[in-house]
Chains A and B, each alone.
Chain A
Amino acid sequence: MATSRRAFLGYVLAAPVLVAAATPTGAEAAADLLDLNDIMTAAALPTSGLISVEINPDGTVSFALPRAEVGQGITTSSAMLIAEELSVPVDRVRVTLADARPELLFNQLTGASNTTIATFTPIRVAAAVARIRLLAAAAEKLGTTDLRLRDGMVLDRDGGRRIGIGELATAAASPRTLAVGVELAPRESFTVIGRPHNRIDGPAAVTGRKKFAMDLDVPGAKPTMVCRAPTINGRPGPVGNLAEVLAMPGVTDVVPISTGVAVRADTFGQCIDAVRALKVTWRPGPVDGKSDETVLKELAAAELPLGPRPLTPVVEGRFTFHFRSNSALETNCAIADVQPGSAEIWSALKSPIVAKQTIAARLGLPSSKVTVHVTEGGGSFGRKLFFDAALEAAEVSQRIGKPVKLMWHRADDSRQGRTHPMATSRVRIAYAGNTVLGFEQRHTSVTTDLGHGLGELLTAMAAKLPIGDAAFAQTFFQFSHTSPYRFGVHSRLLSETGKGFNTGSMRNVYSPDTTCARELMIDQLAARMGREPYRFRREFLRDERSRAVLEKVAGEGGWGRAMPAGTAQGIAFHSEYKAVSACLVEIDCRPETVGRPIRDGVGGPRVTKVVFVVDVGLAVNPRGLEAQMMGCVMDGIALALTSSLHLRDGHFLEASWDDYFYTRQWNTPPDLRIIVMPGDSDQPGGAGELGVSAAMAAVACAYARATGTMPTVFPINHGTLSFTPKPTIPPIPASPTDGADRA
């Protein structure tokens, strides 16, 4: 049999029940060394680095996904892949999250919207191996090879004789590890992949049964919180009233650690009271005294110059993007049980291997003595690439010799947590007549911390990259940016400045900002060249697939319809992660809308309609993809209009959700339509972060058109402080006591 693009090599592992496996690096293509479906002993195979699918005697299928599920729906899409290749119902596939497995090296990092791209083939290969083994075992029992798999059963030709796969789990097992060639199902035959499927964890989520780290019952792990400095990354000095706080109701331990003073108590409520009571002398942090204004000056000084100004006409713009909070709804948290000689950690971690190694080093233990369990995460958007809470929990547990359930207060998460770095983006586009000659962009950003494994991944890959030993960030910047428009000579450069802030990616790193700047300038350029902005984009987009999403969004969204003064449309395009997307927005900037009363919140311009069109090639689960795009749209609205952090005197003023204005129901578009293009690829693209860029850019473009003024500072309301900042000492607010009265 000839090998094809769908032919791969997988393995049957030596085990008492059927365990089928594949390499996690995209599975090896089956070459000439064996015919498909041939089986050979693979005695020397290092099986520890494989991902595997296990058939259980009860007819279920188990798979431990080496990624973090933080809401993006990858447990559901992974179950769908297995269901497709194994012909079992999706609800019989049990997907759990794998503990940290150092032997997987870089294949346990959840980031850059890469999970489905990277695991699409290996998961299917493992399932396809299991399929072959199950059919072979059934053939032995039934005395015929004319068999098929359906709904978790092996059936003979007329369906008269059938055996459940659970009954075959032992017979299909192998005492030796075997290599098996498989051919994956072609796209045309899919019955599960590509069809909308509800989330497999939905029932647990809506009944309160879904367990997050803080919901786990680890014996002796009592609530623990940390009293933190009034400025970013400030360090603790002497504590004035340690004994007094230790004597407070419920408090079991008070201990200074590297990041503050930790308190362990019977309840988190008593932790909050104790943290508020602590009198600590604080040492300054690395950015004390800095403010929005000083950082803007640093960014201006670090900006790389544009090239020599051409003799032809140009449009030029400079945009500022303020710090934004990367707080998920679940604050940073982890459970740690550090014993003499070993440690066990539970936390939602997107880089569990780096976490394991770093925690081991901090505790002075061999890495092999630290077990890291990856729990379900309550949102991430990049935040859970970092493991600050796990490291802290381990430190506290070791210091006091007791298990701890450590959680950051919301105020800590907002003020000392990760942020999307402040950045400026300068764009110059040169044109002459009907031709665009060149596109230059200089993105200048506070340094983005990539020290969570992505940096290491790029180091390891550096030899294979065509740009040599460029800095990680520059590498990441270049590789996450394509040039979707035929704009002549492109030049895009990143420069970074300033350390000391807790930064990280936030549903992408650079693209929402760089795309927003680019799309606003394209509207300017089109106007200058006397062109209609949609047709202009359409003409200059590079390929048919890109044009198709733009045409679709313009058609479905009614681009160009007449609208009242003070309201307008915006349109934008973005491509990344092997996907293309386009967004059409309608916005209402009329004074009566902008000024509508909102208690403890920000109204502002209302996005009234969003149409979002996406083509990810092959959408494994279109319903999940729609959900991701919906979330991306809400992020894009927040980034353009309402959500930012204000830096003053070395700390952020925002401390909770009543002052950090992420999109709320009163900001959502009443009319939202997500359109998933059928796509013609047999490979999926990434989605988790994809939609933010086009959404943010389209909102900005609509705002510019509605108000007649192109915004250059984001979010547009950053100049107005819409709240009274909470104190920094004590670092966290008291809980109100009037809840029952408000019932």
Chain B
Amino acid sequence: MPEHTFRVNGEQVTVTIAAEVRLLWVLRDILGITGPKYGCGISVCKACTSHLNGRAVTPCTVPVGDLQPSDEVVTIEGLPATVGRDLHPMQQAWLDHDVAQCGYCQPGQIMAAVALVREAAAEGREITDADLDGLRNICRCGTYSRIREAIRAAADRM
């Protein structure tokens, strides 16, 4: 059984498992990192959205064998540390706007939102309605309007 070494939330980890097992299950079932949620397994619902080297990915579609020792995976658990605070500004905006209902999709929503704001910032532009319309994360509780408000608020503070 092959070994795979990569970084998760600032720490180097090594797991021994078949290379094709997707990262989501390595995180959840092997490493006990349960912030990323399962909602579809085919990168449709985006509930597991996390960051790979700073960009949004769905770990349910990343074979663990694709990861290199230098690859940095950040899940919702590791997001605050990326800004050296207890809460990332996006998480704080989420609390300020009381976004979460059941909360199941929220880690993925927040990780997708952070990536979106970073992308827009890199392109030197503001978040637009079209950007928000383009977010694909599903919230079955229907908190979409508060998600939009929170992202706009956090974008000013990131």
Contacts and interface: CB of A to CB of B under 8 A. Distances in A.
Contacts of B103: 71, 201, 204-206, 210, 376, 378
A520 interface: no
Interface stretch (A140-148, A266-274, A359-367): A266-274
A268 B45 contact: no
A634 interface: yes
Interface in B94-114: 94-95, 98-107, 110
A305 interface: no
Nearest to B109: A206
B75 A740 contact: no
B21 to A, nearest CB: 5
B67 to A, nearest CB: 8
Contact of B104 (A198, A270, A329): A329
A663 interface: yes
Given A202-B94, A267-B30, A742-B57, A70 B102 contact: yes
Nearest to A732: B41
A270 B41 CA distance: 12
B141 A379 contact: yes
Nearest to A658: B44
A102 B69 CA distance: 53
Given A329-B140, A635-B142, A740-B57, A223 B98 contact: no
B10 to A, nearest CB: 15
Contact of B105 (A329, A633, A737): A329
A214 interface: yes
A206 B114 CA distance: 13
Contacts of B28: 214, 267-268
Contact of B101 (A204, A223, A631, A665): A631
Contact of A627 (B34, B76, B132, B143): B143
A205 B106 contact: yes
B26 A665 contact: no
Contacts of B145: 630, 668-669, 672
Contact of A268 (B20, B29, B40, B101): B29
A26 interface: no
Contacts of B148: 665, 668
A658 B141 CA distance: 17
Contact of B17 (A212, A266, A664): A266
B76 A630 contact: no
Given A329-B105, A379-B140, A630-B142, A208 B77 contact: yes
A272 B75 CA distance: 23
Contacts of B30: 266-267
Interface in B14-43: 17-18, 20-26, 28-30, 32, 34-43
Nearest to A414: B40
A739 B59 contact: yes
Contact of A208 (B18, B60, B76, B99): B76
Given A379-B140, A630-B145, A635-B142, A206 B24 contact: no
Contacts of B29: 223, 266-269
A476 interface: no
A657 B44 CA distance: 6
B100 A657 contact: no
B104 A267 contact: no
Interface residues of B, number: 77
Given A329-B139, A657-B138, A206 B95 contact: yes
B121 interface: no
A491 B132 CA distance: 46
Interface string A723-743: 000000000110111111011
A379 B98 contact: no
A666 B138 CA distance: 11
A739 B23 contact: yes
B138 A664 contact: yes
B8 to A, nearest CB: 13
Contact of B62 (A199, A266, A733, A739): A739
B118 interface: no
Interface string A11-53: 0000000000000000000000000000000000000000000
B153 interface: no
B66 interface: yes
A249 interface: yes
Given A198-B95, A328-B140, A737-B63, A267 B100 contact: no
Contact of A72 (B58, B59, B87, B101): B101
A665 B144 contact: yes
A250 B62 contact: no
Contacts of B129: 670
Given A250-B17, A664-B138, A740-B57, A207 B76 contact: yes
Contact of A331 (B38, B80, B106): B38
A249 B18 contact: yes
B21 A207 contact: no
Given A268-B29, A329-B140, A657-B44, A739 B100 contact: no
B4 interface: no
Nearest to B61: A739
A215 interface: yes
Nearest to A380: B102
Contacts of B24: 269
A410 B52 contact: no
Contacts of A666: 133-134
B40 A211 contact: no
Given A203-B95, A223-B29, A739-B60, A208 B41 contact: no
A377 B103 CA distance: 9
A407 interface: yes
Interface string A402-439: 00000101100000000000000000000000000000
B146 interface: yes
B29 to A, nearest CB: 4
Contacts of A206: 76, 87, 91, 94-95, 99-100, 103, 106-107, 110
6 contacts: A198-B95, A206-B106, A267-B17, A329-B105, A627-B143, A739-B57
Given A268-B29, A379-B102, 16 more contacts: A206-B94, A206-B110, A207-B76, A207-B80, A208-B34, A210-B103, A328-B104, A378-B105, A631-B101, A666-B133, A668-B144, A738-B61, A739-B43, A739-B59, A740-B67, A742-B43
Q: What are the 5 A-B residue pairs with the smallest beta carbon separation, nearest first?
A: A208-B35, A71-B102, A634-B142, A378-B104, A739-B61
